[in-house]
Structure 1
Amino acid sequence: MNSDYPPLTRPGAEPIPPAAEGTQNSPEEIEPNEKKKKKLPYLSKDSKRGSRNSSSNLTVICPDGDMIIEYVESSSTGNRYWQLSSQDLMHNSPYFQALLDPNKFAEGRLVAEYKQRKAPNGADLTSSVNTHGNFDALGFDLPIVKISETRLTKLCGAGAIELFLKILCAEGLGKDKQVIFDSELKVMPPSIVVRTIEIAESFSSPNIVKQTLRRAWYMFGKTKISWNKFGSPLLKQTEERVRQIIVIAEFIGDYSIAKVMMHTLLVMGSKYWDGRPEPPATDHLRWQYLPGGVEEELYYRRQCVMNTITDLQAHFLRVYGGLEEIPKTNDLMAASTRPTLGTTFSTSIPHSEYLRYQCRAGFGNGSQCDLFHLGQMTRFFALKSKSIFLGSTLIDPDFSMVEDDDDKQNGNPQTPAYATPPSAIISLFASLKQYPDYQIDTTHHGCGVRRRILPVLNGIEKYILDPRGLLGIDYKEWKDSSKRPQIEWSSKTSRKGHTVDIRFEKIVGIHMSSPKFSFVTATTSEDEARLLFTAKKRNWESYEGLMRPGT
């Protein structure tokens, strides 16, 4: 048995300890001097069939198979049976290679004894086996090897076990039948394939499944969607399907599809991300919580994107006076040398610093113009895009008042109903880009936020809409311990306290807080996106980058 696989166990059982003379004993083992005393578990027409041996529960995978796999389901009225070739199982599965070894397990001795009981002339008596469950051909029966139900097999289902067994025996069916099987496997739903992968790994036999999926050019279901190109068709898929394709693509080594689908999951959001993601307390399959730190990393990246959008809104609320910020003196001096597009200044505020008006008209009612746009902006963000929440800091967030009957009937709850923002990032961008071109009067045309926020939104959105899936994880680098810190957004290596200068739709400068590395350049689009969304500070309307040579 391959040393790369875990110790051989029957699914749901403890590892079987080695015997004194190099053999392993199982509960079904038959001692040499008792073989004639105990009835071997053969399936024949003389057996008590009932629902247990019902012919409807039998699937003939190999017509000339020399053994039966019986799967015992606790929640079913009858067990499942598959006729298979022991040679194919042993050739393609390290698990069955060991289990059917006559020197190790009783199951192996059972199958070996059956082969020895063939007719003296060497005729293949199993060719007489038909699909109706008559296994008493010419007086010989087929041996049965049981697979007990476990928590994993219960989650995956008998259908996944059957597909796994078909894959193990596909090569022995002949070239024509193998082509037919591959064509069927090519378009099977991801839901059954991803469970088959789980079964294969539990039986220490992932390689043959991986090779078969690659040989069949698995297409992730009956669809014409390009899974390696992000777009609106992917956002129409269910979260379960997206997650299942991530697991399958990673398993077969198609990292480009896995990356795009992770980007899709990040953009659409997850029902498992209401709070900080944690592994489910109950039994679950890997696609329900992506292992290896991937689930946490995708959640963190999504939060970084949301934080960037929040930071952009805060910038405009701040410059229009909606959020308090006392600028530093050197910032004010630098601001006075920059292009101001008709900006005026006010010295009537109670600070010792200056506050720039955003009004472009230059008239005496510039203060009223700014206040008008602040009110319209707050109203739009809170009620239209639902991307900010206006609440109170004077009340305990866990406090609630009991509603009386009149309030319930009139639809007037005592506690406020919080507005829910769009769950998909695409919907959030679409909502924000509907910002109207408000103006206080005709002489203040262009004083509003729309002309300033739309280019910046387009600059952020280009990373979201990129068909390459820039926000997804590159599994090849993720698995490399030397490269992972450079691509992991949540690592301390990525969080260097850098500042990004943005002007219109472009990043015009990236500089670190450390004097040793004052300015840096992104080498790839993925790196540029990471630096933007993980920045400690963003200068949203920066002129500094435009004034530096070479930018």
Structure 2
Amino acid sequence: MPPTTEVATKKEEEEEEEEEEEEKTASICLDDTVHEVVEIRATGDVILDVSFENTNACTKSIPSEAIQKLRASKAKIPSARVFYRVRLETLKRHSKYFAHLLGSDVFGEGRTIKDTFAGLAQSNLNPSEVEPGLLPRIQIVDDDEATRTMGREAVFRDMLRIMHGAEHLTKPISITYLSVLVVMADRFDCMALISRYITGKFGSFRYAQTLDKSAEEILRQKILIFYHTNQAARLASATKELILRGSSRWVSFSDSPAFSTAWWDLPDGLEAELSHRRACILRTIASLQLHFLDLYTSRNRQCTLGYDSSPACDSFQLGEMIKFFTKKGLLSLIPFQATSPEDSDYIWPEPYTGDIENLIGLLRQCPNYQIDKNHSHCGLRSKILPPLDYIRDCIDTGVGIKVMRWRSDRAAHTWIAPEPTTGKGRKPFTVGGEDDMKTFDFTKSKSAMEMGANSFNVDQSAKTMFTAEKWIWTPEKEEETPRLVKTWPKF
């Protein structure tokens, strides 16, 4: 045999031996059953015995086709039990959860580690060199309630690998994978490390587009990921999208199992905040519509041309306005009712559950009605477009959640009013009128925002308008006959 051929054959044999060594896996025997051990570190000194409990409530899997195959075969969704060999000090350094659980003898797990290490030391054995069966074994249970996803053991393995300075193994990466990863990182309190890894390693990951309301779950998963990983621009955009489109959860009063996952109950008050912001925006837009209906039903004449036809012009504009709002489904003409609002027979107007951008688009379709050629600017269109433009500008830049402001100064960033503190459980009693209400003046606010249009001012302008209790959309005219100001006690 030629020398070159002999050397090549010997090299191939060495490579095969190396591959065989790499394929060898560690194992542990419990109750006469041999279990494979996933060696995150071959020199690890602790075994994590993790039970991943799955139920038929699981709707997703990693990989995604696994659950589809199970459903096709009508097989029961299996649970998994996996053993991971890890370094104790590495866990404690990167995870506050493990540092608290395993770092002292306060908990039984910490005492187990301390006692096992003491026994190995008496036998002159190094924990990083012994067989897995001699190491302290820490049991952890992970149920599927927070994610409704099977295959979480692969995500947990990758999380441990990232803690130990290695890269993830799961491929391909999906939005479900990233969602489960941040949920696990949140539970085991290692979010700082996982956040850096996600933004660095998966910075170019292409998130699926959410073009309509049917993709709400994906949108919510994106919000959860962006929030936990401090992706500010993406979070602001995604939260604005959910506010504008609305959520099936916000209009449903049932505790559906589908809403039990972490992304259907966004953390740190985000769920309530986003729902409240949508309600505030809708209330503001509704006030604009009611404002012009009130103007044209008041005693003050809106047509200022001074023609004999001016009174008829106002009546014409009011009629066309009501017809337009009703035709677009934006006004419910409900007469007075004999039943109480608490009665089941009481007729309530249907709430708006559509896209807010579509709502603004509907209002912008208002034609330029005129009773004759002399009344070219008397109608609703010329009056309603400037406020609608201002509302749209505030929505574009001042509605989404700014992650750093939300984390550092939530009280100033939230739109939800704080609970009144009265002391000793007594309700305050004050008497006031419209002067006590938070009032938004469109003309003044628009000028102020144009003079100082920075990020903070835009956010503040949006918050001021959308959280107001009273809106002045057009300059107030002196009334022909003074009206009595209504006052009422506030409780």
When normalised by structure 2's length, the TM-score is: 0.65
- DSSP-derived class of the 1:500 partner: strand
1:426 Cα deviation from its structure 2 partner: 0.6
Residue 152 of structure 2 aligns with which residue? Answer: 160
Q: 1:383 aligns with which of 306, 321, 327?
A: 327
What letter matches 2:332 in structure 1? F
Residue 491 of structure 1 aligns with which residue? Answer: 417
* Cα distance in 2, alignment partners of residues 46 and 286 from structure 1: 36
* Cα distance in 2, alignment partners of residues 247 and 264 from structure 1: 14
Asked if residue 501 in structure 1 is aligned to residue 441 in structure 2, the reply is yes
1:92 Cα deviation from its structure 2 partner: 4.1
Give the paired residue count: 406
Change (3 A) 1:308 1:86: same
Q: Could you report, residue by residue, the CA deviation over 1:198-242 in whole angstroms, capped at 9, with x for unpaired residues? A: 3333334434323432442445x53387xxxxxxx6767833233
* Cα distance in 2, alignment partners of residues 460 and 250 from structure 1: 26
Residue 365 of structure 1 aligns with which residue? Answer: 309
* Cα distance in 2, alignment partners of residues 204 and 117 from structure 1: 35
* Cα distance in 2, alignment partners of residues 395 and 440 from structure 1: 38
1:64 Cα deviation from its structure 2 partner: 4.1
Residue 36 of structure 1 aligns with which residue? Answer: none
Asked if residue 213 in structure 1 is aligned to residue 198 in structure 2, the reply is yes
Does the aligned pair in 1 maintain the 2:162–2:194 contact within 8 Å?
A: no
Asked if residue 432 in structure 1 is aligned to residue 432 in structure 2, the reply is no
| Structure 1 runs of 4+ with >6 Å offset | 100-103, 107-120, 122-126, 140-144, 233-237, 277-283, 493-496, 520-523
Does the aligned pair in 1 maintain the 2:52–2:153 contact within 8 Å?
A: no
Asked if residue 203 in structure 1 is aligned to residue 188 in structure 2, the reply is yes
Change (3 A) 1:298 1:443: same
1:429 Cα deviation from its structure 2 partner: 0.6
Asked if residue 222 in structure 1 is aligned to residue 206 in structure 2, the reply is yes
What letter matches 1:387 in structure 2? L
Does the aligned pair in 1 maintain the 2:51–2:79 contact within 8 Å?
A: no
1:400 Cα deviation from its structure 2 partner: 6.7
1:263 Cα deviation from its structure 2 partner: 2.1
Q: Could you report, residue by residue, the CA deviation over 1:410-449 in whole angstroms, capped at 9, with x for unpaired residues? A: xxxxx98965635211110111111122333445444321
Residue 300 of structure 2 aligns with which residue? Answer: 355
Does the aligned pair in 2 maintain the 1:61–1:84 contact within 8 Å?
A: yes
Asked if residue 539 in structure 1 is aligned to residue 483 in structure 2, the reply is no
- DSSP-derived class of the 2:387 partner: helix
Residue 461 of structure 2 aligns with which residue? Answer: 528
Change (3 A) 1:456 1:101: closer
Does the aligned pair in 2 maintain the 1:269–1:424 contact within 8 Å?
A: yes
* Cα distance in 2, alignment partners of residues 453 and 373 from structure 1: 13
* Cα distance in 2, alignment partners of residues 521 and 45 from structure 1: 67
Higher relative contact order by CA 8 Å / sep ≥ 6: 1 or 2? 2
What letter matches 2:396 in structure 1? L
Q: Could you report, residue by residue, the CA deviation over 1:11-58 in whole angstroms, capped at 9, with x for unpaired residues? A: xxxxxxxxxxxxxxxxxxxxxxxxxxxxxxx73599457xxx6xxxx6
* Cα distance in 1, alignment partners of residues 348 and 459 from structure 2: 38
* Cα distance in 2, alignment partners of residues 290 and 389 from structure 1: 34
1:509 Cα deviation from its structure 2 partner: 6.3
- DSSP-derived class of the 2:227 partner: helix
* Cα distance in 2, alignment partners of residues 309 and 73 from structure 1: 47
1:378 Cα deviation from its structure 2 partner: 0.9
Asked if residue 247 in structure 1 is aligned to residue 224 in structure 2, the reply is yes
Residue 79 of structure 1 aligns with which residue? Answer: 80
* Cα distance in 1, alignment partners of residues 377 and 259 from structure 2: 58
Does the aligned pair in 1 maintain the 2:159–2:181 contact within 8 Å?
A: no
Change (3 A) 1:395 1:427: farther
- DSSP-derived class of the 1:392 partner: coil
* Cα distance in 2, alignment partners of residues 437 and 533 from structure 1: 27
What letter matches 2:313 in structure 1? C
Change (3 A) 1:118 1:425: farther
1:525 Cα deviation from its structure 2 partner: 0.9
What letter matches 1:223 in structure 2? Y
- DSSP-derived class of the 2:82 partner: strand
Q: Could you report, residue by residue, the CA deviation over 1:271-312 in whole angstroms, capped at 9, with x for unpaired residues? A: 22228x999899934432234333333333222211211111
* Cα distance in 2, alignment partners of residues 170 and 425 from structure 1: 41
- DSSP-derived class of the 2:285 partner: helix
Q: 1:393 aligns with which of 329, 336, 354?
A: 336
Change (3 A) 1:116 1:439: farther
Q: Could you report, residue by residue, the CA deviation over 1:445-484 in whole angstroms, capped at 9, with x for unpaired residues? A: 4432122212221121111233xxx11233333334xx44
Q: Could you report, residue by residue, the CA deviation over 1:77-111 in whole angstroms, capped at 9, with x for unpaired residues? A: 45332554445556644555654999944467669
Q: 1:262 aligns with which of 227, 239, 242?
A: 239
Does the aligned pair in 2 maintain the 1:72–1:147 contact within 8 Å?
A: no
Higher helix share: 2
Residue 351 of structure 1 aligns with which residue? Answer: none
* Cα distance in 1, alignment partners of residues 358 and 445 from structure 2: 22
Asked if residue 454 in structure 1 is aligned to residue 385 in structure 2, the reply is yes
* Cα distance in 1, alignment partners of residues 250 and 467 from structure 2: 19
Unaligned runs of 5+ in 1: 1-41, 127-139, 226-232, 326-353, 402-414, 511-519, 545-551
- DSSP-derived class of the 1:43 partner: strand
User: What does residue range 23-38 of structure 1 map to in structure 2 within 5 Å?
Assistant: none
Residue 238 of structure 1 aligns with which residue? Answer: 215
- DSSP-derived class of the 2:475 partner: coil
Change (3 A) 1:70 1:526: closer
User: What does residue range 110-149 of structure 1 map to in structure 2 within 5 Å?
Assistant: 145=137, 147-149=139-141
Does the aligned pair in 2 maintain the 1:501–1:508 contact within 8 Å?
A: no
* Cα distance in 2, alignment partners of residues 119 and 60 from structure 1: 22
Sequence identity (%): 23
What letter matches 1:491 in structure 2? A
Change (3 A) 1:172 1:295: closer
Change (3 A) 1:114 1:190: farther
Query: What is the RMSD computed on CA atoms of the aligned residues?
Result: 4.8
Asked if residue 191 in structure 1 is aligned to residue 176 in structure 2, the reply is yes
Change (3 A) 1:203 1:158: farther
* Cα distance in 1, alignment partners of residues 161 and 228 from structure 2: 21
Residue 473 of structure 1 aligns with which residue? Answer: 401
